[in-house]
Amino acid sequence: MGHLVTGQGSTYDVVVVGAGIVGAACAHFLTREGLRVAVLEKGIVGGGATAAGMGHLVAMDDSPAQLALTKLSLQLWRGLLEELPASAEYRETGTLWIATDEEEMAEVRRKYGLYSSMGLACEVLDGEALAKAESELRRPLAGALRVLGDGVVYPPVVAQFLLREVAERGALFTGRSVSSIEGNVITLGDGTRISTGYVVNAAGCSAVDLTSGFVMRKRKGHLIITDRYPGFLRHQVVELGYLKSAHSVTADSVAFNLQPRATGQILIGSSRQYEDEGAAVDDDIVRKMVERACAYMPGVARLSALRIWTGFRAATPDKLPLIGPSPGNPKVLLATGHEGLGITTSMATAQLITDMLLGRSSPIAREPYLPSRMNYEAAHA
Ligand SMILES: Cc1cc2nc3c(=O)[nH]c(=O)nc-3n(C[C@H](O)[C@H](O)[C@H](O)COP(=O)(O)OP(=O)(O)OC[C@H]3O[C@@H](n4cnc5c(N)ncnc54)[C@H](O)[C@@H]3O)c2cc1C
């Protein structure tokens, strides 16, 4: 492992660019292995997509690789939970994947078979059991899949927590913007040059500005948070149609996705839009989100909204993150492109990055997430 020397004469093994949940998790895991790590963040810790996201920790099976990554990450999250401060608001709410008709119940049963075979605790609820599990849901509904190990967390606090030890044993620089990475030399916006053994590019949607050779798009999302309504909702509830929404690579989409916060507030999601890179709230999208939520849970109409905001997901063409060496610069490891799952998959990303840097094997195959697959796809397009 090469050492880096900063302008201040400090030496670090790895410099992580970006202090969102992904950069924070990578820095935490690397520090825990005894490496000296510096983190460079242009804004504040956990202030990017990490502050904008919903914080649902969820097993997802869009592809076998996605399921493997989310499952490993949920295991790693569980290992961290006892250490997390109460302000991280972790709760094992479970997820209810709601089916409206028999066709969607067939999907519930398919998911049940797959998740069970992977050792993920879950159960099929019929319409009656679902009504008991969440009394505010409209009736009748066909049923749901309840995934018991899924949870909810407040991500910016987790990012701050993960960086505490890094700041003590390495260095955390906020308000420091990286303008370029050449080989193993980082140049900051003020002209400071830093050389290092390895760089982890965890700059979220901005990662493409610092490392060339891959394509990523910004996918805008809106969220609404309500006043406090303790007892209104117990699980994270998501329509199975959410999967169609998340899979769509072209159209704007809205899906029913509700989360109970530890404060008693309800977080109402979710929307997905390409082509709109402005942060402004789109009233038409918000109206559609509320209509969709009321269609599943009519009582949402009585809730008062306190705040509405937008954020951007970093989306790759094949909907898997980029974890590993940049094909154009082996000194840079990418840790980005997590789209709507970066809170969940931050921990597994950190595990894979740490294993790669230490020359160890990993608990899951790393190939599906390697950035080199993008070049392969481009060459064979
Ligand atoms: C509406 C919405 C809902 C979501 N819901 C969920 C959910 O329920 N569950 C889930 O798992 N995921 C969810 N996500 C996705 C999740 O929020 C992201 O995947 C995750 O936060 C990405 O983390 P990150 O660390 O890669 O990026 P970010 O949090 O964006 O962090 C990147 C950091 O890099 C810094 N940076 C950028 N450029 C530079 C530079 N040049 N120099 C220095 N620093 C730089 C930025 O300031 C930022 O702090 C959601 C996202 C959105 C938008």
Q: 182 CA distance to ligand 1 centroid (A)?
A: 24
Quickly tell me which residue has 């797959």 as its tokens.
114
Structure confidence at residue 170 (pLDDT): 87
Residue 116 main-chain phi, psi, to 5 deg? -60, -40
Structure confidence at residue 152 (pLDDT): 98
Atom number, ligand 1, closest to the C-alpha of residue 21: 25
Structure confidence at residue 252 (pLDDT): 84
Residue 96 main-chain phi, psi, to 5 deg? -105, 115
Each residue of 158-211: pLDDT tens digit?
999 999 989 999 899 999 999 999 999 999 999 999 999 999 999 999 999 999
The CATH number linked to 340 is 3.50.50.60
> Which of these ranges, 94-98, 117-121, 239-243, has the smallest mean pLDDT?
239-243
Question: What angle, 0 to 180 degrees and rounded to 10, lies between the N-to-C axes of helices 21-32 and 342-358?
Answer: 40
Q: 16 CA distance to ligand 1 centroid (A)?
A: 14
pTM higher than the cut 0.85:
yes
Closest CA to 258 of 283, 288, 230, 237: 237
Single out the residue in 289, 315, 341 at which a domain terminates: 315
Atom number, ligand 1, closest to the C-alpha of residue 339: 19
Q: Averaged over 139-150, what is the pLDDT? A: 97
Number of domains in the chain: 2
Q: 132 CA distance to ligand 1 centroid (A)?
A: 36
The CATH number linked to 250 is 3.30.9.10
Single out the residue in 267, 300, 315 at which a domain terminates: 315
Sheet holding 11-12, edge to edge: 11-12, 4-5, 193-195, 185-188, 178-182
Residue 143 lies in a domain: yes
Residues touching ligand 1 (Cβ under 6 Å) are: 17-23, 40-43, 47-50, 52-56, 177-178, 202-204, 206, 210, 221, 223, 270, 311-313, 336, 338, 340-344
CB atoms within 10 A of CB 138: 14
Furthest CA-CA distance within the chain = 67
Q: Are 114 and 40 contained in the same domain?
A: no
Q: Averaged over 110-114, what is the pLDDT? A: 98
pLDDT at 63 > cutoff 80: yes
* Closest protein CA for atom 18 of ligand 1: 342
Atom number, ligand 1, closest to the C-alpha of residue 219: 53
Domain limits at 204? Answer: 12-53+155-215+319-379
Q: Are 279 and 132 contained in the same domain?
A: yes
Single out the residue in 292, 315, 338 at which a domain terminates: 315
Structure confidence at residue 226 (pLDDT): 98
* Closest protein CA for atom 21 of ligand 1: 50
* Closest protein CA for atom 27 of ligand 1: 204
Residue 165 lies in a domain: yes
Structure confidence at residue 243 (pLDDT): 62
Atom number, ligand 1, closest to the C-alpha of residue 50: 21
What are residue 132's DSSP bridge partners?
Answer: none
Report the sign of the C-alpha dihedral through residues 345, 155, 302, 304, in that order. negative
Q: Report how far residue 326's alpha carbon sits from residue 258's, in angstroms, rounded to the nearest whole number.
A: 37
Q: Are 303 and 331 contained in the same domain?
A: no
Residue 81 lies in a domain: no
Q: Are 118 and 254 contained in the same domain?
A: yes
> For a substitution probing ligand 1, which of 15, 16, 21, 312 has the most ligand atoms within 8 Å of its CB?
21
Q: 59 CA distance to ligand 1 centroid (A)?
A: 19
Mean pLDDT of the chain: 93
Q: 134 CA distance to ligand 1 centroid (A)?
A: 31
Residue 380 main-chain phi, psi, to 5 deg? -105, 10
For the chain, what is the HEC assignment?
CCCEECCCCCEECEEEECCCHHHHHHHHHHHHCCCCEEEECCCCCCCCHHHHCCCEECCCCCCHHHHHHHHHHHHHHHHHHCCCCHHHCCECCCEEEEECCHHHHHHHHHHHHHHHHCCCCEEEEEHHHHHHHCCCCCCCCCEEEEECCCEECCHHHHHHHHHHHHHHHCEEECCCCEEEEECCEEEECCCCEEECCEEEECCHHHHHHHCCCCCCEEEEEEEEEEEECCCCCCCEEEECHHHHHHHCCCCCEEEEEEEECCCCEEEEEEEEECCCCCCCCCHHHHHHHHHHHHHHCHHHHHCCEEEEEEEEEEECCCCCCEEEEECCEEEEEEEECCHHHHHHHHHHHHHHHHHHHHCCCCCCCCHHHCCHHHHHHHHCC
* Closest protein CA for atom 35 of ligand 1: 18
Residue 163 lies in a domain: yes
Atom number, ligand 1, closest to the C-alpha of residue 222: 1
Q: Are 346 and 364 contained in the same domain?
A: yes
pLDDT at 381 > cutoff 60: no
What are residue 259's DSSP bridge partners?
Answer: 267
CA distances from 318 to 72, 152, 166 (A): 20, 26, 33
Q: Report how far residue 232's alpha carbon sits from residue 298's, in angstroms, rounded to the nearest whole number.
A: 12
Q: Averaged over 258-264, what is the pLDDT? A: 97
Band of pLDDT at residue 251, cut at 50, 70 and 90: confident
Structure confidence at residue 1 (pLDDT): 38
Q: Are 305 and 330 contained in the same domain?
A: no
Q: 51 CA distance to ligand 1 centroid (A)?
A: 7
- Residue 64: cis peptide before it, omega within 30 degrees of 0: no
Structure confidence at residue 7 (pLDDT): 44
Residue 77 lies in a domain: no
Q: 124 CA distance to ligand 1 centroid (A)?
A: 33
Q: Are 310 and 324 contained in the same domain?
A: no
Dihedral Cα 247, 248, 253, 255, nearest 10 deg: -20
What are residue 232's DSSP bridge partners?
Answer: none
What are residue 67's DSSP bridge partners?
Answer: none
Residue 284 lies in a domain: yes
Q: Are 129 and 244 contained in the same domain?
A: yes
Distance of CA 245 to the CA centre of its chain: 17
Q: Are 234 and 367 contained in the same domain?
A: no
Q: Averaged over 319-326, what is the pLDDT? A: 97
> For a substitution probing ligand 1, which of 15, 16, 22, 217 has the most ligand atoms within 8 Å of its CB?
22
Residue 309 main-chain phi, psi, to 5 deg? -145, 170
Q: 312 CA distance to ligand 1 centroid (A)?
A: 7
Residue 203 lies in a domain: yes
Q: 21 CA distance to ligand 1 centroid (A)?
A: 7
Structure confidence at residue 375 (pLDDT): 67
Atom number, ligand 1, closest to the C-alpha of residue 220: 53
Q: Are 286 and 372 contained in the same domain?
A: no
* Closest protein CA for atom 14 of ligand 1: 340
Top-confidence residue, 310 or 380: 310
> Which of these ranges, 84-88, 240-244, 251-255, has the smallest mean pLDDT?
240-244
Q: 205 CA distance to ligand 1 centroid (A)?
A: 7
Residue 138 lies in a domain: yes
Each residue of 127-137: pLDDT tens digit?
999 999 999 99
Q: Are 112 and 260 contained in the same domain?
A: yes
Q: Are 172 and 281 contained in the same domain?
A: no
Q: Report how far residue 80's alpha carbon sits from residue 93's, in angstroms, rounded to the nearest whole number.
A: 17
